[in-house]
Structure 1
Amino acid sequence: MSRWKPDARGRLEKAALELYNHKGFHATTVAEIATRAGLTERTFFRHFADKREVLFPGDSPLTDLLTDATAAAPATLPPLEVITHALAEAAPVFEERADLVRQRQTVIAANPELQERELAKLAALASTLAHALRERGLETTTAALAADIGIATFKVAFERWITDPGRRTLAQHIRETLDTARHLTAPADVSLTGREEGA
């Protein structure tokens, strides 16, 4: 018989996500989560302030990862390439917990209140990136615009990744989606519009 057991926090998170998806976020109680995890309510509150914190942990490593990766990017890279580098470096945080991440997104997609919280979290990450870009010497407007474009693009890439039947990596989706964003300002190809010059 295996002696290994998931840590208490991990067991609580797994139990909570299973219940949120089965019963609904609002219908699930802390007592039910603790019971399913084989732990006590007291143990739950040692790890999480409330049910919502299971989905939005306060100790996420993303902020530090994005800050460090932005600072470490080569000095010659343009802003969007720096953003691509930073987001790709952070991708393993999601990839190593892919099943739980997908369960989490299903719960959030079913709850408008949680969707608002998710948007606030993304806005906070954009602020983190903007600050890190300013630390690299970018002026405020350029840093803010690059960070906002980066996070908006990450949101699209993330949604593509969690529904990707081919199971390509999140980093691949990030790079592809940012490539698409770069082409948004490229001149239109006349041959694709079906109109000839002077028509």
Structure 2
Amino acid sequence: MIDCKVTGEQIKYAEDLVNRCNFGRRGRGDGNREQQFVGVLGQTVVADLLNLERPKGGEGFDGGYDVKINDKKVDIKTMGRTVPMQEHYVHNFVGYQVGYDVDYLIFCSFNKTNNILTVCGYISKSDFLKKADFYEEGAIRTRDNGTNFKTKAPLYEICQKDLHPINRIEDIFNGIR
């Protein structure tokens, strides 16, 4: 995993973009403003790390992917947390997005208490669908700390340990092919 200190400029960029554009366009499971901010922030930081174009918004449906790496369509998924990422944690993927034309998923975690974005790992969409657990909308999910929540949408979960590891930026370019 790669930890990145998020800059004030990156936060302001993501906040401004979310304030100007509604990134929830599916009609269901769109995420509130905070969730949209975390997602756009993850896209912004990863784009900066990879020297790719930042998200712009306002251009209509993006086709379900955020960036292209080695001519592969990649969706960057970021969850907000208040603690550092751990191997036994899971990453969520809203089931309404499963039909989008995407080749790979990169999963990130944004620690809101210290403004650290962790680029956690990547996986091909086909391997993701084989390894992830699926939960119907309304299922009760219990976290490992004993708290629980009711899913608001169909939900896929994949454990951190099931992702391809990222220890250097080159791992992304070498692995996504």
Shorter-normalised TM range: under 0.3
Q: Comparing both structures, which one devotes a greater share of its residues to strand?
A: 2
Higher relative contact order (CA 8 A, sep 6+): 2
Between Structure 1 and Structure 2, whose CA radius of gyration is higher?
A: 1
Q: Comparing both structures, which one devotes a greater share of its residues to helix?
A: 1
